[in-house]
Amino acid sequence: MDINDLILEYDAKTLNVKLLAENYEWETVSGNVIDYPKIDIPNDLKEIILPTNFSALLRNVAFAICDDPKMRDLNSLCLDINKNFFKGLRLIATDRTRLSCASAELVTEESLQFIIPKNSVLDLIKLEPQSLLYNDDPNKIYFKLRAQKSEENLIFQTNGQFYLLVYWMTF
């Protein structure tokens, strides 16, 4: 099945959303726009301004993220922000054969580590984030985006600013 085989329909009068496929039949979940959850950004978020070449840094390490679904611990990238590290920001990925690391200057008083799933890394490469927002919840981070590049990406808008929410589920 190709992405061109799928059709997303939105009826503004009834606020219904439908997913259709020309050559395939299956039960799909359709619904009303107001049934979808509203995403609000918490008020207690701290912000770290990312380097302007952050997307390029992600691109330099993304190739080493593991594709094997059996090794889910390696299917992501480690974002390490450390005030004691000589550059401040490190991105690290491995697939057990290759190890890739990129670093950049980042002035911060924080020491944090986040795990970013591969699909989110690929979205971030395209979306060019300008800053990272976080709070005490270690499983959620927000990336403030420079501009909306595409309607295909899972982004949301609050007060005229676009964001990508990265949620890491622990098992």
Domain ranges of the chain: 3-35, 46-167
Do 129 and 114 contact (CB within 8 A), yes or no?
A: no
Query: DSSP of 103-164, one letter per residue?
Result: EEE---S-EEEEEEEHHHHHHHHHH-EEEEEE-S-TTEEEEEESS---TTS--EEETTEEEE
pLDDT in tens, 37-86: 666 778 898 999 999 999 999 999 999 998 887 887 788 899 999 888 77
CATH of 46-167, picked from 1.10.1040.10, 3.40.50.20, 1.20.140.10, 3.10.150.10, is 3.10.150.10
CA–CA gap between residue 128 and residue 143 (Å, rounded): 9
CA–CA gap between residue 41 and residue 163 (Å, rounded): 9
Give the list of residues 6+ apart from residue 40 with CB closer than 8 angstroms, or none.
158
pTM: 0.68
CA–CA gap between residue 104 and residue 83 (Å, rounded): 12
Query: Over the chain, what is the mean pLDDT?
Result: 77
Q: Look at 133 and 12; give whichever has higher pLDDT.
A: 133
Give, in order, the Cα–Cα distances in Å from 36 to each of 6, 30, 143: 20, 11, 21
- Residue 20 pLDDT exceeds 50: yes
